[in-house]
Amino acid sequence: MIEILFYILSTITLGSATLTVLSKNPIHSALWLVVSFFSLAGHYILLNSQFLGMVHIMVYSGAIMILMLFTIMLMNLNISHEVSKPFFTKLVATVAFCLVGILMLTIVMRGNQAYNIEYSSTGEDFQSVSVLGKVLLNEYVMPFEMVAVLLLLAMIGAVLISKKDKTEKEA
């Protein structure tokens, strides 16, 4: 039963991720991304990580997508005003995408032989919110703070990108 549910969630994830990339309307693309985030949260729950699945739904499907939708609406993206990219740019992007895909596939294929990972049991249940909080705020406080600064910089960047230039208002 779990295997069937895994394949259903995987199909939904891959399908919605593909539609996210292929959608011409940015609002539709963002909505397909929400579907993809929900199906990824289902994968976390299948892996018996309910806390991570719920946080994923709240943070990504909730807060981040709301911010993205506001940014898209604030920027007023219209396809009619967008200049078409030259053929050379599209060709270079396609070749780069294919090369990165081949590289990632090669790494995954060779990765099974290169590493022998042995897991040791510490006796602590990292599914517990209290243990997770202690680990995050004691051992990983620096990366935790760096992520907070990164999110702040991303928010400032989004505001600066959406700000209209004075030359655009006059034209």
Percent helix, strand and coil across the chain, each to the nearest 5: 80, 0, 20
* Structure confidence at residue 120 (pLDDT): 61
> Is the confidence at residue 10, as pLDDT, over 90?
yes
* Structure confidence at residue 79 (pLDDT): 54
Q: Which residue pairs, CB below 8 angstroms and at least 24 apart, start in 27-32?
A: 27/69, 27/72, 27/73, 30/65, 30/68, 30/69, 30/72
pLDDT in tens, 116-157: 556 566 666 666 677 777 877 888 888 878 888 888 887 777
pLDDT in tens, 61-94: 777 777 777 777 777 655 555 566 778 888 888 8
Contact 71, 158 (CB under 8 A): yes
Contact 50, 16 (CB under 8 A): no
* Structure confidence at residue 14 (pLDDT): 94
Band (pLDDT 50/70/90 cuts) for residue 4 is very high
Contact 71, 162 (CB under 8 A): yes
pLDDT in tens, 18-65: 998 888 887 888 889 889 999 999 999 998 888 888 888 888 877 777
Q: Map residue 84 onto helix, strand or coil.
A: coil
* Structure confidence at residue 9 (pLDDT): 94
* Structure confidence at residue 160 (pLDDT): 72
* Structure confidence at residue 70 (pLDDT): 75
